[in-house]
Amino acid sequence: MLKIKFILILFLSFISNSFSQTKFDRFLTPSDTLNTSRRTAVYISEAAVGGLTLIALNQLWYADYERSNFHPINDNQEWLQMDKMGHMFSSYQLGRIGASALNWSGASKKEQLLYGSTLGFTFLTAVEVLDGFSKEWGFSWGDMIANGAGTGLYIGQELLWEEQRITLKYSFHQTKYAKLSPDKLGDGLLEELLKDYNGQTYWLSFNIHSFLKNEQIPKWLNLAVGYGADGMEFDYNEPAVNFVANKKRTRQFYLSLDVDLSRIETKSQVLRSIFDVLNVIKVPFPALEFNDKNDIKLHAIYF
């Protein structure tokens, strides 16, 4: 094990030194002062990508379903609230990206929080409005609350601690349920990643060093608490006559370790950027599972 760790450290050091002096590395380094060209590029890029994405959704997705007058819907009981966890995760991560982009431009902390970390909430609100004009779905206040919770998790930590001690992460494994209901749960890995809530787990990953301030604890070591669900072929419970199908629906809670990749020390901005991107994913570790059937399971490796 020590040999493996040593080889890994040498490999990362070699890669870091190889990249550290490149022009691309210098380009990725956040500006110490406001760089107006960078900030303008950030705002234009976000507006363009967000606008084009909404147009594409409207033309390629919503166009296939019947339109309606704007209407709300109460979908809070669907998918054992796994869809709400997805909204919270997306809002948090998009906000983190928005704030990081403005930090790269040298914008003030206030500007990062006001216009960067709210990126996820703003974009997902626009998507929710499109839902509201679709007969198939509707405007969901539950989704909006989840969006706000994700944004609030990021902003709250920046205001309280000026760092992200708690990171919202995602993991996925394929399940048998997608084949039983591919129209709802996805057909193929890429669709299942987004649609199959049975295989998704959302994690609150707590950085131990940040809370305990103990130098004996590695700065990158996290304790993760996860939530998932299983046995769902449909959004709501099956009709009462299908009692067997209803019994399969299970809430799952997990306890595991994790790695905060953003806290791994490196001089390379290229590696730093790669770590920041990969940090949305929970690192596979052994996990203890508790569920609402009063079962306890130990997973040698859970993802």
Tens-digit pLDDT profile for residues 58-83: 887 888 889 999 999 999 999 999 99
Burial 181-194 (b: 16+ CB within 10 A, else e): beebbbeeeeebee
How many distinct helices (H) and strands (E) make up the chain? Answer: 13, 8
Mean pLDDT of 5-34: 63
**Which long-range contacts does 172-176 make (Cβ < 8 Å, 24+ apart)?**
172/196, 172/199, 172/200, 172/201, 172/303, 173/199, 173/303, 174/199, 175/199, 175/230
Q: What is the mean pLDDT of the chain?
A: 88
Q: How far apart are CA 63 and CA 246, in angstroms?
A: 33
Which residues touch 112 (CB under 8 Å, ≥6 apart)?
98, 99, 102, 103, 158
pLDDT, tens digit, 9 for 90 and up, residues 213-223:
999 999 999 99
Residue 246: the pLDDT is 53
Q: What is the four-CA torsion angle of 150, 155, 161, 164, rounded to 10 degrees?
A: 50
Residue 292: the pLDDT is 84
CB 190 within 8 A of CB 210: no
Q: What is the Cβ-side half-sphere exposure of residue 45, based on CA atoms within 13 angstroms?
A: 12
**DSSP annotation of 281:** B
User: Is 169 a residue whose pLDDT tops 90?
Assistant: yes
Residue 270: the pLDDT is 85
Which residues touch 44 (CB under 8 Å, ≥6 apart)?
none
Q: How far apart are CA 99 and CA 114, in angstroms?
A: 9
User: Is 163 a residue whose pLDDT tops 90?
Assistant: yes
Residue 14: the pLDDT is 46
pTM of the model as a whole: 0.88
pLDDT, tens digit, 9 for 90 and up, residues 107-144:
999 999 999 999 999 999 999 999 999 998 999 999 99
Residue 295: the pLDDT is 87
**How confident is residue 278, by pLDDT bands cut at 50, 70 and 90?**
very high
CB 218 within 8 A of CB 258: no
User: Is 7 a residue whose pLDDT tops 70?
Assistant: no
Mean pLDDT of 193-206: 96
pLDDT, tens digit, 9 for 90 and up, residues 223-250:
999 999 999 988 875 544 444 455 689 9
Q: At which residue do the structure tokens 């960078």 appear?
A: 38
Residue 25: the pLDDT is 78
Residue 244: the pLDDT is 46
Burial label, 145 (beta-carbon count in 10 A; 0-12, 13-18, 19+): middle
Instruction: Give the domain ranges of the chain.
Output: 34-164, 166-303
**DSSP annotation of 65:** S
**What six digits make up the tokens of 9?**
């450290």
